[in-house]
Amino acid sequence: MALKGEQLKEHVASKSLRKKKFFRFLKFYLIPGWRDPEFSAQEYQIEKIKSKRRLFRHLIKHLTLIGLIMILFIFALAVFAPWITPYPLQDLVIPHVPLNPDPYALPSPEHPLGTTYHGYDVLARIIWGARTTVFSSLIPVAISLGLGLAIGIFSAYIGGVIDYLIMRFVDLFYAFPTLILIIIITPMVGSDLFTTLIVYGLLFIPYNIRFMRSLVFQIKQLEYVQAAKVGGASRFIVMFKHILPNAVSPMLISFFGGAAVAIIGLAGLAFIGFSDNTVASWGIDILWARGKYSNLGAAVWPGLFIGIAAIGYILLGDGFRDALDPRLKL
């Protein structure tokens, strides 16, 4: 009897808790402004999962996937180049000259895409050139975006004389063509690949400073930033804890566009002769094959791979823009 009495009490207590929880649930959803810690936490977790699924759905689009496949293909060539081709890099660059060279020969079983300058294998140089392209798309963009992000946030948030001086420097820089500056500076500091990439990245910092500054001016007027200031947060905390995270999405989108521009720009520099001949470069391949009509593939294939890399980054950038830009979700 005592056991049945305890079970009855537990049943009544459980029924009472369910009833109270039901009324709390009704209050939470029917009374404006009424919050319940338990239901608020559940609602937050549900919205978080829905947000992740929404982002994933926006990314999984045909063009975005095509761009991802293109970039993964280029990266795979760059990473596995020593295992894909039997030719080592030093046998495909100046000053090496193969035995019995047959320059600009048509495709053959030994050279599937033919040969280029000095009889170098076109396919092997394309494979090794993927590594140069990967570096060209990552290093200068990381330098220009990283420093442009930091200086742009500092300039926009501090304001005053510092902002005025930084912007006047940026305006002065805009008066000089970037390509001409690269052509002038690169021979002075060295024409090796990494020096060229660093110079290219540094000269594009002002463009990202202006972009980042305009972005911060929009973000710093938002309510949560004003609340952080009123709450006594320091300038450093406001800049790098409240403003920077909300500027990452636009900069990520800008990264892919900048990578495509860097690939085309550095290939253009190689085409006019400003490149490191000790590495395989698709721009140099097009330069060597210019006017050599015995094997058109020596120029067509490198140009095609430049297009694949650039278009791949552009498609990825468009996909991330569609997924991260709230204005496109209305």
Number of structural domains (the chain) is: 2
Statement to judge: residues 136 and 124 lie in one domain: yes
Q: Is the peptide bond before 86 cis (omega within 30 degrees of 0)?
A: no
How many whole angstroms separate alpha carbon 16 and alpha carbon 25?
14
Residue with tokens 């910092």: 205
Statement to judge: residues 70 and 152 lie in one domain: yes
**Collapsed DSSP state (helix, strand, coil) of residue 115:** strand
CA-CA-CA-CA torsion sign (91, 97, 98, 101): positive
7 pLDDT higher than 80: no
138-169 burial, b for 16+ CB within 10 Å, e for fewer? ebbbebbbebbbbbbbbbbbeeeeeeeebbee
Instruction: Tell me what the mean pLDDT of segment 304-324 comes to.
Output: 86
Listed in sequence order, the residues at least 6 apart from 253 whose beta carbon sits closer than 8 Å to its beta carbon are 317, 320, 321, 324, 325
256 pLDDT higher than 60: yes
193 pLDDT higher than 80: yes
CATH code assigned at 112: 1.10.3720.10
Statement to judge: residues 100 and 221 lie in one domain: yes
Of 126, 105, 87, nearest in space to 285 by CA? 126
Statement to judge: residues 318 and 170 lie in one domain: yes
Q: What is the pLDDT of residues 55-89, one digit of tens each?
A: 556 667 788 888 889 999 999 999 998 999 888 88
How many whole angstroms separate alpha carbon 212 and alpha carbon 205?
10
168 pLDDT higher than 60: yes
47 pLDDT higher than 70: no
Statement to judge: residues 128 and 269 lie in one domain: yes
Statement to judge: residues 121 and 18 lie in one domain: no
Looking at residue 78, what is its pLDDT?
92
Q: Which residue has the higher pLDDT, 221 or 92?
A: 92
223 pLDDT higher than 70: yes
Instruction: Tell me what the mean pLDDT of segment 14-39 comes to.
Output: 56
Statement to judge: residues 105 and 163 lie in one domain: yes
Question: Which amino acid is it at 289?
Answer: A
Statement to judge: residues 191 and 268 lie in one domain: yes
How many whole angstroms separate alpha carbon 142 and alpha carbon 194?
13
Of 207, 147, 214, nearest in space to 177 by CA? 207
How many whole angstroms separate alpha carbon 195 and alpha carbon 235?
35
254 pLDDT higher than 50: yes
Looking at residue 330, what is its pLDDT?
46
Statement to judge: residues 29 and 126 lie in one domain: no
**Collapsed DSSP state (helix, strand, coil) of residue 121:** strand
Which of 8-12, 302-306, 319-323 bottoms out in mean pLDDT, i.e. has the lowest?
8-12
How many whole angstroms separate alpha carbon 106 and alpha carbon 87?
18
Looking at residue 313, what is its pLDDT?
92
Instruction: Tell me what the mean pLDDT of segment 325-329 comes to.
Output: 53
Sorting pLDDT into bands at 50, 70 and 90, what band is 306? very high
Instruction: Tell me what the mean pLDDT of segment 24-31 comes to.
Output: 56
172 pLDDT higher than 90: no
Local structure of residue 239 (DSSP, 8 states): I
Question: Which amino acid is it at 45?
Answer: Q
Statement to judge: residues 20 and 92 lie in one domain: no
Domain extent at residue 67: 63-329
Statement to judge: residues 25 and 149 lie in one domain: no
